[in-house]
């Protein structure tokens, strides 16, 4: 299989919930890598052996398999299992038109 996708990983850093004495929130390394495909964030995988590769949606089955293989090589692991976020139905975000909506929106 040709490597048409450029997959890279980088340790994931985020802001600490604890504040420094000056009130700032320092960056801390978290226990996972960020996975990038062609320079764009594509998912996460944990440091622990056996952690699943969590990919965002929008990748075909073939692309997800290629990403999985490249992550496997980059981490020098024997096995990586990929889980991809499901596509969300568009109507999930449509507000009901009823005035008795449970959402509490006021159309006036």
Flag whether 95 is in a domain: no
Q: Does residue 69 sit within a domain?
A: yes
Q: Give a yes or no: residue 71 inside a domain.
A: yes
Asked whether residue 78 is assigned to any structural domain, the reply reads yes
Do residues 84 and 59 lie in contact, with contact meaning Cβ atoms separated by under 8 Å?
Answer: yes
Residue 102: is its pLDDT beyond 90?
no
Range of the domain at 54: 7-16+24-86
Strands of 7-15's sheet in order across: 7-15, 27-37, 40-46, 53-55, 82-84
Q: Is residue 102 part of a domain?
A: no
Band (pLDDT 50/70/90 cuts) for residue 85 is confident
Task: State the total domains in the chain.
Answer: 1
Tokens of residue 71, six digits: 């992550």
The answer as to whether 66 is a domain residue is yes
Q: Which residue has the higher pLDDT, 102 or 52?
A: 52
CA distances from 38 to 3, 29, 46, 51, 58 (A): 11, 23, 20, 22, 14
Provide mean pLDDT across the span 56-69: 93
Any domain includes 43: yes
29, part of any domain: yes
Threshold 0.75, pTM exceeds: no
> In the prediction, which pLDDT does 1 show?
45
User: pLDDT tens digits for 13-57?
Assistant: 989 999 999 999 999 999 999 999 999 999 999 999 899 999 998
């Amino acid at each position: 299989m040709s490597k048409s996708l450029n997959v890279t990983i980088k340790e994931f850093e985020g802001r600490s919930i604890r504040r420094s004495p000056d009130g700032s929130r320092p960056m801390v390394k978290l226990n996972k890598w960020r996975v990038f495909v062609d320079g764009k964030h594509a998912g996460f995988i944990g440091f622990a052996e056996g952690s699943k590769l969590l990919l965002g949606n929008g990748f075909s089955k073939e692309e997800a398999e290629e990403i999985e293989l490249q992550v496997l090589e980059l981490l020098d692991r024997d096995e990586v299992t990929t889980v991809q976020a499901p596509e969300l139905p568009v109507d999930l975000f449509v507000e009901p038109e009823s005035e008795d909506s449970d959402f509490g929106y006021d159309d006036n």
